[in-house]
């Protein structure tokens, strides 16, 4: 448990650091309560303190399970709360589990697992020292300080995600052809993960504020309502930005369809011109084939070629011009006809 911290909190003495878990377990007899901040503990290390503190084996299992969602569970002698901590690294939302086990005279926090960057409360000792008058009232007040730090720490990740969403919107409007749709898909996946966690954490605070846990006293509940307000604000952020991402995806689809429609229109115009040229020259090609096979000379007589061939070319011009103007008239008529 490298980096773990063990403390005793007593009335008038504030937060006092202890040497280890054995000293912390013995310090409960001095009055007050103990706080054990465990960083990436093993099953054996958790079991070593679970027995003396009366922590339920299922709560120990939840501390070691990496696939849990935020929740609150009441057991005989203690309450278990699972919260999530957010970090936004390399444009990916990293979720780290933080566990709280607290009873009448103890608070145990478990963090730093799942590849975390250490414990979740590196600066908590200084914060608790600044609020020693509050945390001396009981482990539920210390729980509020730690939960408040965990929830406020989500703001950095949320603001970073919001910056990425705004950047994606600007990039999409600036150049649709170079924009990568996977940026929106990644942001949407992170936002859904954020929303899922905030939804369950808000439900936890609802249960706390309605006094479901016997180890959270009436005076402490007012402090937890402030955390509930923060979670509600963050949840509204996730809802708002989910709508923005949905709109951006629809905008990307619309702009892509418009670009493809313009390309298709240019292709249709080229095909229409080629079709017009082919249609005009088809009867002329027929006449040229007839004249080229000497049928024209046979019909007009070989001695009349000086008159026959000018008439032949004149006929080709008349037929070609008539075909062209007929096709143009039909096209204008179709364009002027109202769509049904």
Name, in order, each residue with C-beta under 8 angstroms of 202's C-beta and a sequence gap of 6 or more: 228, 231, 232, 235
Task: Find residue 57's DSSP bridge partners.
Answer: none
Closest CA to 111 of 103, 121, 119: 119
For 292, other C-beta atoms within 10 Å of its C-beta total 9
Task: Give 37's DSSP letter.
Answer: E
Element (DSSP H or E) covering residue 200: helix 181-209
d(CA 234, CA 199): 10
> Phi and psi dihedrals of 71, rounded to 5?
-160, 170
- Specify the long-range contacts of residues 281-284, CB closer than 8 Å, at least 24 apart: 281/320, 282/323, 283/319, 283/320, 283/323, 284/316, 284/319, 284/320
Q: What is the pTM of this model?
A: 0.72
Q: CB of 3 within 8 A of CB of 121?
A: no
Task: Find residue 303's DSSP bridge partners.
Answer: none
Task: Give 114's DSSP letter.
Answer: T
Q: CB of 108 within 8 A of CB of 121?
A: no
Handedness of CA 42, 48, 53, 57 (dihedral sign): positive
pLDDT in the model for residue 340: 45
Consecutive sets of 10 residues in the chain, 340 residues long: mean pLDDT of each? Answer: 77 79 84 87 89 91 87 92 87 87 91 61 64 80 88 87 86 80 85 90 91 87 90 89 85 79 75 73 70 57 68 77 77 66
**Strand pairing category for 5-10 and 33-39:** antiparallel
pLDDT in the model for residue 296: 57
Q: CB of 95 within 8 A of CB of 195?
A: no
Place of tokens 């608070």: 107
pLDDT in the model for residue 314: 82
**CA 170 vs CA 21, 90, 165, 167: distances in Å:** 53, 20, 9, 5
Q: CB of 2 within 8 A of CB of 37?
A: no
* Domain 5-255 CATH (choose: 1.20.120.530, 3.40.50.720, 3.30.460.20, 3.40.91.10): 3.30.460.20
**How would you list the strands of the sheet with 33-39, edge to edge?**
14-18, 5-10, 33-39, 106-111, 92-102, 78-89, 71-75
Closest CA to 234 of 192, 207, 194: 194
pLDDT in the model for residue 130: 62
Closest CA to 107 of 264, 203, 241, 220: 220
């Amino acid at each position: 448990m490298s980096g773990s911290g063990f403390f005793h909190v007593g009335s008038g003495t504030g937060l006092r650091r202890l040497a280890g878990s054995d000293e912390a377990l013995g310090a409960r007899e001095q009055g007050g309560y103990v706080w054990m901040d465990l960083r990436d503990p093993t099953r054996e290390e958790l079991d070593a303190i679970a027995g003396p503190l009366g922590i339920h084996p299922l709560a120990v299992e939840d501390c070691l399970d990496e696939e849990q969602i935020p929740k609150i569970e009441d057991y005989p002698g203690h309450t278990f709360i699972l919260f999530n901590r957010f970090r936004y690294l390399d444009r990916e939302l990293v979720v780290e589990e933080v566990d709280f086990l607290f009873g009448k005279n103890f608070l145990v926090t478990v963090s730093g697992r799942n590849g975390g960057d250490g414990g979740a409360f590196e600066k908590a000792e200084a914060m608790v020292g600044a609020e020693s008058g509050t945390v001396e009232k009981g482990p539920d007040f210390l729980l509020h300080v730690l939960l408040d730090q965990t929830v406020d720490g989500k703001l950095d990740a949320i603001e970073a995600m919001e910056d990425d969403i705004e950047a994606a919107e600007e990039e999409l409007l600036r150049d649709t052809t170079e924009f990568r749709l996977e940026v929106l898909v990644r942001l949407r996946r992170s936002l859904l993960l954020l929303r899922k966690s905030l939804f369950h954490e808000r439900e936890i605070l609802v249960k706390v504020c309605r006094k479901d846990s016997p180890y959270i006293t009436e005076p402490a509940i007012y402090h937890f309502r402030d955390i509930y307000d923060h979670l509600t604000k963050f949840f509204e952020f996730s809802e708002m930005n989910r709508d923005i991402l949905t709109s951006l995806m629809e905008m990307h689809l619309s702009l892509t369809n418009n670009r493809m429609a313009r390309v298709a229109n240019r292709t249709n115009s080229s095909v229409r011109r080629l079709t017009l040229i082919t249609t005009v020259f088809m009867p002329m090609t027929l006449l040229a084939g007839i004249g080229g096979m000497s049928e024209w000379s046979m019909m007009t007589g070989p001695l009349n070629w000086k008159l026959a061939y000018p008439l032949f070319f004149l006929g080709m011009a008349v037929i070609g011009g008539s075909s062209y103007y007929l096709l143009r008239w039909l096209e204008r008529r179709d364009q002027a006809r109202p769509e049904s």
